[in-house]
């Protein structure tokens, strides 16, 4: 099948390239654009309490809808605010409100701290959307006006709070995305030049993957529009890395095989047909495994994961089609010039290191398996200390929002910046009885972890009351989330009088429900994806045994990566936890993409087995060809993620470091040591019940003809193939 497809593509290469270019132009011009949402409640099921509270806000208290921000007004000399200072702050609030800034609902003077070190000025915006550009523009305008209004007064007014923090974070992430994408392109380009000594081969992934990304994003936008799915910022940020990572891997798989066939004396067209025929099944199987891993996210309850699954699946499927059509067309058009200006492709290199590694594994599989397995197991044990950090809304360091938070906390509890909302609602449809809210307020005032409780306000129909509860800790910290999920919700629910119900909402409650949903989804999605990937491996290898130890190695690689992050950031860096979505990112890039390397290595070992070579000898030749490919692909993907260290956002730095380490573990400890060593140890049994290798007698005859084998140092002649 793959040979026939390759012959068609090579014969019609100009047409294939033209179809891709025309498709990209049409899709960009007419397909719906990919749109991302940052509103967490867009991705939670409606049954969660925080989502019910969010909708109740719009129904009963429409005036409280819209993002909020807070000016922290302090004296420049750090002293307590005088009566004149407080009057100046009130005038500033009036001036800002009267300025009628576009996108701002109202500005009003707020409370003064008990120690008089800081006073609030509360701001409410019209929009609820965290990614509304009008809010960011309004934040900038308010800051400019406040700076002008406090000039010469001895006061400072720094804008912080949800809207301001998000605006500053958005700018930080946009700068980080630009920096990391540019650095990723540079890293891929440099590493490909080092791999092939070729400028053309280095440009090939950048140009073709860029075209694929245009097509993929347009297709994703069309699917989202057709099925009412919402995109999210994480998908938007990770998409270029996914496409460049997967695309570069598949291009490397093809180019290494293509170069191998050219060295065997074939012309450019025949070499490409042979390369696709040989490696096409490997690429298709690897892509299907990744697509299955991504698409399994559609089983999640969390909308963020459900939207990410199809999006990433479409992106990888598009890359697969390009790898089997666009890339062969372009390479067959260029011919050997794809390796220009290098001439090293003409001569077969000695591959002494790769061959030596293969001989080592063939000669001493037990020590190799034990050492590589012990490394992964030791790191996996560290994963038991994993603690999730949900504080993604933290103000980027050095921004006005961060400095404003520091000012605000001089006189107010940390929870004042993002108070927890508590609703008391009549369940009978009647107006709330007098005193119905008092028991809930009193109970929450006595609840550990609650610093202050505000006065209740009532809806126009009198059926719902709303009041704020300020937490004693950072509202997005783990202690705050534990307080809301436990004492606050229990106290509020228990204190609600008969005929009423208490509903706890707000940003902390949203993150509590997000944590619950993600834990549920991890427990459902990961096992199902693992079974489906094992089935794909079984179909590729025609074996039951090999997929079992391959998946066991993948699980160890996943846990080992999480453990490495825990050791590095929690224990070594003193972080309260690692970013809450880290298991998802590791799943996407280490587990799913790391399976590519497993498939490439095991498929090459299968070729040797089919040729009748014993595992101990076959691993030598398999590594001569497969090891450079896996090493190059792994280093390029790890290097791509290492560019996240240049990002401003701490979460992106943490994610990039973890994935870079995970890819190195998957490519080297797992794919180049553990899996081949176990395959050698199992020998003939690895391919049960299909037994892809030849009869034992044939293997024995080969050993006798070859002499002492790898241990004796005799050169390995290579596996005979139909193209040799």
Assigned CATH topology for domain 404-512: Alpha-Beta Plaits (3.30.70)
d(CA 174, CA 179) in angstroms, rounded, equals 9
Q: Percent of the chain at pLDDT above 90?
A: 37
> Is the whole model's pTM more than 0.85, yes or no?
no
At 415 the pLDDT is 82
Cβ neighbours of residue 538 under 8 Å, at least 6 residues apart?
Answer: 544, 546, 547
Superfamily for domain range 2-33+173-390+524-695: Multidrug efflux transporter AcrB transmembrane domain (1.20.1640.10)
pLDDT tens, residue by residue, 286-295: 888 888 888 8
Cβ neighbours of residue 343 under 8 Å, at least 6 residues apart?
Answer: none
Do 693 and 610 form a contact (C-beta atoms < 8 A)? Answer: yes
Mode of pairing for the β-strands spanning 36-37 and 231-232: parallel
pLDDT tens, residue by residue, 548-590: 999 999 999 999 999 999 999 999 888 888 888 888 888 877 8
Q: Percent of the chain at pLDDT above 70?
A: 91
SS3 of the chain: helix, strand, coil, percent, to 5: 70, 10, 25
Place of tokens 């119900």: 501
Rounded to 5 degrees, what are φ and ψ at 125? -100, 165
- Indicate whether 696 pLDDT > 60: no
Q: Which pair of tokens denotes residue 426? A: 């009549």
404-512 has the same fold as 66-168: yes
Residue 16 three-state SS: helix
Q: Which pair of tokens denotes residue 505? A: 């909402």
Report which DSSP code applies to 543: B
Q: Which pair of tokens denotes residue 350? A: 């000695």
Question: How many other CB atoms sit within 10 Å of the CB of residue 228?
Answer: 6
At 3 the pLDDT is 82
pLDDT tens, residue by residue, 286-321: 888 888 888 888 888 877 777 788 888 898 999 999
d(CA 347, CA 469) in angstroms, rounded, equals 73
Q: Which residue in 210, 241, 428 sits closest to 322, CA to CA? A: 210
Q: Which residue in 596, 716, 722, 622 sits closest to 278, CA to CA? A: 722
- Indicate whether 113 pLDDT > 60: yes
Residue 411 three-state SS: coil
* In the chain, domain spans: 2-33+173-390+524-695, 66-168, 404-512
pLDDT tens, residue by residue, 248-283: 888 888 998 898 888 888 888 899 999 998 888 888
CA 661, 666, 669, 672: dihedral to nearest 10 degrees? -140
| Domain formed by 66-168, architecture | 2-Layer Sandwich (3.30)
The DSSP code sequence of 364-380 is -HHHHHHHHHHHHHHHH
CA angle, corner 564, sides to 560 and 566, nearest 5?
A: 115
pLDDT tens, residue by residue, 65-85: 788 899 999 999 999 999 999
pLDDT tens, residue by residue, 606-623: 888 877 777 788 787 778
Q: Which pair of tokens denotes residue 221? A: 């936008």
Mode of pairing for the β-strands spanning 231-232 and 578-579: unpaired
Residue 140's pLDDT band (boundaries 50, 70, 90)? very high
Rounded to 5 degrees, what are φ and ψ at 60? -100, -25
Do 536 and 519 form a contact (C-beta atoms < 8 A)? Answer: no
The H or E element containing residue 323 is helix 303-324
Place of tokens 């004042």: 416
Place of tokens 């001895």: 154
Residue 710's pLDDT band (boundaries 50, 70, 90)? very low
Distance between start and end Cα atoms, the chain: 20
d(CA 42, CA 51) in angstroms, rounded, equals 9
pLDDT tens, residue by residue, 420-465: 999 999 998 899 998 899 999 999 999 999 999 999 999 999 999 9
């Amino acid at each position: 099948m793959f040979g026939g497809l390759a012959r068609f593509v090579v014969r019609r290469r100009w047409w294939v390239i033209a179809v891709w270019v025309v498709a990209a132009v049409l899709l960009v011009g007419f397909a719906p654009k990919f749109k991302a949402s940052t509103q967490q409640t867009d991705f939670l099921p409606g049954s969660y309490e925080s989502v019910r509270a969010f909708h109740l806000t719009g129904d009963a208290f429409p005036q409280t809808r819209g993002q909020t921000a807070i000016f922290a007004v302090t004296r420049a000399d750090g002293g307590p605010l005088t009566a004149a200072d407080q009057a100046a702050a009130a005038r500033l609030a009036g001036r800002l409100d009267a300025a009628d800034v576009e996108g701002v609902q109202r500005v009003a003077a707020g409370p003064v701290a008990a120690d008089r070190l800081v006073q609030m000025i509360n701001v409410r915006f019209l929009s609820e959307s965290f990614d509304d550009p009008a809010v960011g523009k309004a934040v900038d305008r308010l800051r400019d006006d406040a700076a002008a209004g406090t000039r010469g007064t001895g006061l400072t007014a720094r804008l912080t709070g949800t809207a301001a923090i998000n605006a500053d974070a958005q700018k930080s992430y946009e700068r980080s995305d630009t920096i990391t994408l540019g650095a990723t392109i540079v890293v891929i380009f440099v590493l490909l030049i080092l791999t092939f000594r070729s400028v053309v081969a280095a440009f090939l992934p950048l140009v073709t993957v860029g075209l694929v990304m245009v097509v993929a994003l347009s297709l994703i936008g069309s699917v989202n529009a057709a099925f009412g799915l919402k995109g999210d910022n994480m998908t938007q940020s990770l998409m270029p890395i996914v496409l460049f990572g997967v695309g570069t891997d598949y291009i490397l798989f093809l180019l290494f095989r293509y170069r191998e066939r050219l060295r065997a004396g074939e012309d450019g067209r025949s070499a490409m047909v042979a390369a696709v025929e040989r490696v096409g099944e490997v690429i298709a199987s690897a892509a299907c495994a990744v697509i299955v891993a991504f698409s399994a996210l559609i089983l999640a309850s969390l909308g963020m994961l459900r939207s990410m699954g199809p999006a990433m699946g479409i992106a990888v499927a598009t890359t697969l089609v390009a790898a089997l059509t666009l890339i062969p067309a372009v390479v067959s058009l260029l011919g050997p010039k794809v390796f220009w200006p290098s001439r090293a492709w003409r001569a077969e290199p000695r591959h002494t290191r790769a061959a030596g590694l293969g001989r080592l594994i063939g000669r001493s599989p037990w020590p190799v398996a034990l050492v590589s397995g012990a490394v992964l197991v030791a790191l996996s044990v560290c994963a038991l200390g994993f603690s999730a950090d949900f504080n993604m809304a933290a103000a980027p360091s050095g921004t006005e929002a961060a400095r404003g938070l520091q000012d605000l906390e001089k006189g107010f509890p940390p929870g004042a910046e993002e108070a927890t909302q508590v609703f008391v609602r009549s369940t009978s449809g009647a107006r709330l009885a007098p005193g119905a809210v008092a028991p809930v307020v009193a109970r929450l005032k006595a609840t550990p972890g609650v610093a202050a409780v505000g006065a209740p306000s009532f809806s126009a129909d009198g059926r719902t009351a709303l009041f704020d509860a300020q937490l004693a800790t950072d509202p997005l910290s783990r202690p705050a989330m534990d307080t809301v999920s436990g004492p606050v919700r229990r106290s509020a629910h228990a204190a609600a009088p008969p005929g009423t119900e208490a509903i706890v909402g707000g940003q902390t409650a949203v993150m509590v429900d997000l944590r619950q949903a993600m834990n549920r989804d991890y427990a459902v999605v990961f096992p199902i994806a693992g079974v489906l990937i094992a089935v794909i491996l079984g179909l590729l290898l025609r074996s039951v045994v090999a997929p079992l130890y391959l998946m066991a190695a993948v699980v160890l690689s996943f846990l080992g990566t999480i453990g490495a992050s825990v050791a590095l950031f929690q224990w070594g860096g003193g972080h309260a936890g690692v970013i809450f979505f880290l298991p998802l990112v590791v799943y996407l890039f280490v587990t799913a993409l790391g399976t590519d390397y497993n498939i490439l290595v095991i498929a090459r070992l299968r070729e040797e087995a089919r040729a009748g070579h014993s595992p101990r000898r076959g691993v030598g030749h398999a590594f001569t060809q497969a090891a450079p490919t896996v090493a190059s692909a792994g280093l390029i993907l790890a290097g791509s993620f290492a560019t996240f260290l240049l990002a401003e956002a701490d979460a992106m730095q943490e994610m990039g470091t973890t994935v870079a380490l995970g890819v190195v573990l998957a490519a080297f400890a797992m794919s180049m040591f553990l899996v081949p060593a176990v395959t050698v140890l199992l020998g003939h049994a690895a391919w049960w019940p299909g037994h892809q290798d030849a009869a034992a007698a044939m293997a024995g005859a080969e050993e006798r003809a070859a002499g002492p084998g790898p241990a004796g140092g005799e050169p390995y002649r290579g596996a005979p193939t139909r193209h040799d």
